[in-house]
Structure formats: C-alpha cells, structure tokens
Amino acid sequence: MDEIIEVKVARIHPDAVLPVQGSKLAAGFDLHSVNRVEVKKGTTELLPTGLVLAIPPGWEGQVRCRSGLGKKGLILPNGVGTIDADYRGELMVLAHWIGEGDSFVVEKGERIGQILLKRVPEIHFVEVEREALDDTERGAGGFGSTGRF
C-alpha cells in the first residue's frame, strides 16, 4: 500500500455523503447529490454535493462522470472538472443531458460522479527560441495527424 493522503472534508448540507470508493480498488470516490435536480435536454446544471474539500498542496481533484450515468446520456460537458488545492467552495458536479427523452432527473442521494486525486508536479516554464526545441517524428502535425490506427 502506498502512502495515505489525508483530505479534510466539511459537510455544509445535512444530507451530504462523504466520498467513498465503490470497491476496494476503485480509483475514484463516489459523489452524491444533496438535491433532486432535473437536467433538461441540451442543458447543463450544477449538481451540489454539500461538501467542501481541502485538497492538499501538490494535489488536484479530478471530477469525472460515472460510467453508468454516462451510458444513459448524463455527461460532464467539460469531460473532467478540476478542483484546485486552494478552492474552498462547495464541490459541484456539472451535468449535461444528451440522452433519450426531454430530461433526466437526478434524485437526492444519487451517485452523480466521482473524484480522483492526482499529484500535481511543480512546473517551471522556461522560454526559449523555437530552434531550441527538439524535433519529433510528429512535428507540428495537428488534430488527427497521427491517424486512426
């Protein structure tokens, strides 16, 4: 077992559920909605968790979709939401409905996403002239330049 990272969590809603792993080896910790929210077709709603986290310096929280909800059509419009170590507001999950029907109702207490904690290395960008960058096989090829297979 690697090191254990302590993340302080405050409940700001009486029905808030602390993040929990769905299984012993799950990478993500499930997040639950504290409200019933209807997400209409083609719209995006903020789903509150009733939690405030103190993510340690050098770490970030990545909020991701639950695959079961994604399969139904409830997705995160930004793919992955980033929670910075200095953010102390309520943890929210962005939800966008693209599935069948006019809307999707997220029930109070429903699992709405998951959070993963990832290390953030200290980075220093060093400005150089273009010629100082090494060449690669791909070069300046843009979107799709490496092909499908």
pLDDT tens across 23-44, in order? 999 999 999 999 999 999 999 9
| Per-residue pLDDT reduced to its tens digit, 41-61 | 999 999 999 999 999 999 999
| Per-residue pLDDT reduced to its tens digit, 69-119 | 888 989 888 888 999 999 999 999 999 999 999 999 999 999 999 999 999
Q: Does domain 8-123 have CATH number 3.40.50.970?
A: no
| Per-residue pLDDT reduced to its tens digit, 116-142 | 999 999 999 999 999 999 988 777 777
Read off the pTM: 0.85
Please measure the distance between the N-terminal and C-terminal CA atoms of the chain and give it in whole angstroms.
37
Q: 60 has which bridge partners? A: 118
Give, as one character, the DSSP assignment of residue 30.
Answer: E
**Residue 147 has what pLDDT?**
67
**Residue 15 has what pLDDT?**
97
Q: Return the domain boundaries, the chain.
A: 8-123
* Structural contact between residues 93 and 44, judged by C-beta atoms closer than 8 angstroms: no
* Structural contact between residues 59 and 84, judged by C-beta atoms closer than 8 angstroms: no
